[in-house]
Chain A
Amino acid sequence: MDFNVFISGVLATITDPLTLLLVFVGTFMGLIFGSLPGLTASMGIALLIPLTFTLDPVPAIGMMLGCYVGGIAGGAVAAILLNIPGTPSSVVTTIDGYPMARQGKAGEALGWAVFSSGFGGLISWLILVIAAPSLAVLCTSFSAPEYASLALFGLTIIAAVSGKNLAKGVIAGLLGLMLSFVGVDPIWGELRFTFNNINLMSGINLLPALIGFYSIPQILESCTEENKVDTSGIHLTLKDIIPPPKKMWESKINIIRSSLIGTAIGIIPAAGANIAAFLAYDQAKRFSKDPESFGKGNHNGIIASEASNNGVCGGAMVPLLTLGIPGDAVTAVLLGGLMIQGLTPGSILFKEHMDVVIGMFTTMFIGTILMVLIQLVGIKLFVKVLSVPTNYLNAALVVLSLVGSYALRNNIFDVGITIVLGLIGYIMTRGGFPMAPTVLGLVLGTMFEREMRLALRSSHNDWSIFFTRPVACVFVIISFLFVINSLYKAWKEKQKEKALKPPNL
């Protein structure tokens, strides 16, 4: 990357007040969504996407990235104050965060969470900026077989995000693929599964589907819960929150190690922030001089969890931007947001839209800084947010969801799609089917089918093209190994459960 081009791109972004404002809005919204148990960063990004239609790519994506960074960091608030993880990635924060809060050190715990999230985000951002352009250069020679095998690899990630039941995860992924078939055939141009409905001729739009699968089931689930959160006893000041610089310096190794673990896990597709947090916590405990104190209010546990889960953000952006493969479920939604902006991740993005890429890097950096500042200044607000009555919150989320679907094409049909898919998503969630594979199938399905069929046409239906081209062959083999590994893990898990089950007397 040319240094002068980089600097001019950065200056263009930071001198645009609209971009800065939108990154602020996105980060703030992400923190709110992350703080509230039951709401996720994915949902926040899905609801933000409709606001970005009339915007230029850089401020639009900046807002989504701010929401991503804020959404992951915001989970620590409820985790520390209420022992309820605000997001799945903040489960590990509860282990030491809540005990610290019970010892009257809630402010200190929150401070460690805020600064660790900031450091984790910045370190992974640095690796993103260095690694992504180099990896994109390697991808310039990719053509249909390579893209098809990459998409296949992305689809096999379904196995990893399936949770405990692989078969259910694959079914959910296949549902996403099935939805991607609706509309125009990518090779022959014929209409498929439109049932003579003019609204289906352009296919099932990604945004109404995202909102339907992520937002509606969660709303239906949470409307049955009573709002019992009472934060009236919690009083925090800025002085309580900022950790002593000496203690921060003493924890530098833990901060750097956890951030690097998070970044590495983020780069591996589908591993996710949750795994990064557990791994980093385990390592922090192993290297600690006082491992017995972990779980009883050791601030190093919070550092490990928060630095790693925000470290995932930059890492997950590497495969997303260079290969078009989402690093986790949240970046799958982000990928949808990029596609809606007309940007296709990969080497073409770096070649033809370098200004957008630099804008993304800059806004991600700004979002990370803002995430720390907003939490420091506004921590009282986030504590208050936890006690917003869920009846008003749920009603507002429904309105936002339907408006978000409608705003894409000003078409009430999209609202109908959201409602129908939302109902299907709710029923599937109740049956233990995960939603992340459905989104992956929907996002990657069209690309996989198109590139696979193009590759076969160019090779005159010779399937060996996927094995004779080295990069394609590597990805196909990795995909199969990934699937076999997931099957093996699922089988091992089942054997473990059988062994632990008490015998019938």
Chain B
Amino acid sequence: MKAMQRNSKIFELGVSIMLFCLAGFLIYVANTTGMPASDGMSSMDFPRGIFVVMMILCAYVGVNSVFWFMKHPKTAEESSKPKEPMVKRKAVLTFIFICIYALLWNVIGFSLSTFVFFTVESRMLDSKRPLKWAIIIGLGAMVLMYLVFGVLFKVQFPEPILEMVRGY
């Protein structure tokens, strides 16, 4: 329980720092690119105000997180327990696969990359299930997605390999 709370606080601190820096950067962008208005608010006035409030709130949450860590140092008992990963391996792998899947659309096309992704991802998430089922369901998913979105809803997916095969 304590470990989960500690992980949550780490993420909380991380988000506060990330958004604080983002807001600061955007204030810099607003100051260097905005045009002054001849009448009323300029285009960057309102965003600047929001970024300042964001920085203040992020600083508040971040400082609170730091105080929490100071009030709750790791005990000897917690240190002796095996460390729980902050992000589980499957979540990291899933995210990497999602990025690769999206990048592959323009390389091998939507259909083939959907089949590859579906098979690899479902197998990674549960390696106890037979591989043949992952392949069969992956093929089925590829066909279903193409028929529903590509044919029925006429979404134009990138298909460089299929187009090469068809000779377009």
**A interface vs B, CB < 8 Å?**
50-51, 53-54, 167-168, 170-171, 174-175, 177-178, 181, 185, 187-188, 190, 192-193, 216, 219-221, 223-224, 227, 389-392, 394-396, 398-400, 402-403, 406-407, 410, 412, 415-416, 419, 422-423, 426-428, 430-433, 449, 452-453, 456-457, 461
Contacts and interface: CB of A to CB of B under 8 A. Distances in A.
A167 B26 contact: no
B37 A171 contact: no
B125 A190 contact: no
Nearest to B58: A171
Contact of B145 (A50, A181, A403): A403
B159 interface: no
CB-based closest 6 A-B pairs: A431-B11, A391-B125, A185-B43, A431-B12, A391-B126, A430-B11
B47 A399 contact: no
B12 A432 contact: yes
B151 interface: no
Given A412-B102, A419-B98, A174 B121 contact: no
B54 A174 contact: yes
Contacts of A431: 8-9, 11-15
Given A389-B126, A453-B40, 18 more contacts: A54-B154, A170-B57, A171-B58, A174-B57, A178-B23, A192-B47, A193-B29, A394-B125, A395-B117, A395-B118, A398-B98, A399-B118, A403-B145, A407-B155, A427-B14, A428-B11, A431-B14, A432-B11
Given A193-B26, A390-B125, A219 B94 contact: yes
Interface residues on B, range: 35 or more
20 contacts: A167-B60, A174-B53, A178-B26, A181-B50, A188-B43, A190-B34, A192-B33, A220-B91, A220-B95, A221-B91, A223-B90, A394-B121, A398-B98, A410-B155, A430-B87, A431-B8, A431-B9, A453-B46, A457-B39, A461-B41
A221 B90 CA distance: 9
B129 interface: yes
B99 interface: yes
B149 interface: yes
Given A190-B35, A403-B145, A427-B15, A419 B99 contact: yes
Nearest to A168: B61
B5 to A, nearest CB: 10
Interface in B26-56: 26, 29, 33-35, 37, 39-44, 46-47, 50-51, 53-54
B69 interface: no
A398 B60 CA distance: 35
Contacts of A400: 145
A37 to B, nearest CB: 17
Interface string B85-128: 00110110011001101100110000000100110011111100
Given A188-B37, A457-B40, A399 B114 contact: yes
Q: Which of B29, B101, B124 has the most CB of A within 10 A?
A: B101
B139 interface: no
B155 A406 contact: yes
A186 to B, nearest CB: 9
Given A171-B57, A390-B125, A394-B121, A223 B29 contact: no
A495 B87 CA distance: 32
Contacts of A423: 95
A398 B129 contact: no
Contacts of A432: 8, 11-12
A391 B158 CA distance: 26
A63 to B, nearest CB: 13
B156 interface: yes
A224 B12 contact: no
B161 interface: no
B137 interface: yes
B45 to A, nearest CB: 9
A170 B16 CA distance: 12
B47 A167 contact: no
Contact of B153 (A51, A175, A428): A51
Contacts of B122: 389, 391-392, 394-395
B149 A403 contact: yes
A416 B60 CA distance: 31
B154 A223 contact: no
Given A223-B91, A389-B126, A396 B141 contact: yes
A399 B46 contact: no
A171 B9 CA distance: 16
B125 A395 contact: yes
A51 B150 CA distance: 11
Contacts of B54: 171, 174-175, 178
Contacts of A177: 50
A178 B51 contact: yes
A192 B44 contact: yes
A282 to B, nearest CB: 29
A223 B125 contact: yes
A403 B7 contact: no
Contacts of B22: 178
A171 B61 contact: yes
A460 to B, nearest CB: 8
A398 B101 contact: yes
Contact of B102 (A175, A419, A453): A419
Q: Which of B15, B101, B141 has the most CB of A within 10 A?
A: B15
Contact of A188 (B42, B123, B153): B42
B157 A395 contact: no
Contacts of A391: 121-126, 129
A227 B118 CA distance: 18
Contacts of A171: 15-16, 19, 54, 57-58, 61
